[in-house]
Each structure stands twice: as C-alpha cells, then as structure tokens.
Amino acid sequence: QVQLVESGGGLVQTGGSLRLSCVASGRSVSRYDMGWFRQPPGKEREFVASGSWTGALTYYADSVKGRFTISRDSARNTVYLHANNLKPEDTAVYYCAAGPLSTRIADYDYWGQGTQVTVSS
C-alpha cells in the first residue's frame, strides 16, 4: 500500500508560479513511477506530467510543456510539480499518482486526495 499526500496549491495571479509537493509513504515506494494529473471544474481528469523515480524519463502534456516541470527528491520520497507562467485554464484540482510510468489515468495504482490550484485573471 502506498499513501500520497499533496500540498502547495493555492490562489495565484496569471503569470505566477506554484510548487506542488507529493509525499509518498508505504512499502516499496521506490518501485513506483509518479504522475501528476488535474481535474478542471466541470471537466474530466487529465494528464499533466509523469516521471520515473530515477528522473531519467519525463513526459508532459502539450498544454503545460515548457511551463511545468516534474522533479523528485528520492531521499524525501517527494515528487514536485513546478508550475510557472500559470494561466486561468490551469485552474484545477491537482492529483499525484503512483504506478507504472504512463500518461493514462487507468494505469496508476494509487492516488492522493488532491490540492486546489486557482489562477485568477
């Protein structure tokens, strides 16, 4: 079993930045790669970014490429999502997930509770 806890969301103006954190705990945490997803209000959950625990592989949605970066601190079992140049369309609940490296929601085994990001125009 793996537990994931996100933090770092909040209200930010257009063009601002946030760093979201996801702390992972439980057995064999290092076996899992990590992903970030988001669910905008009234819409379905969508892929944002994913990365291997080694950091060798990363994937990004086209909508965030060049603005968001996924990184991890293996010693702290923590994955980050650095979100820069935020836009109102980035407003969503952001979730981290643990599972095989993928862009697909169905491939992930464990999910956090989510953290709200609101970008004002």
pLDDT in tens, 60-88: 999 999 999 999 998 899 999 999 999 99
Specify the pLDDT at position 55: 82
Query: Which pLDDT does position 111 carry in this prediction?
Result: 97
The reported pLDDT for the residue numbered 85 is 98
Residues of the chain with pLDDT under 70: none
The three-state DSSP-derived secondary structure of the chain is CEEEEEECCEEEECCCCEEEEEEEEECCHHHCEEEEEEECCCCCCEEEEEECCCCCCEEECCCCCCCEEEEEEHHHCEEEEEECCCCHHHCEEEEEEEECCCCCHHHCCEECCCEEEEEEC
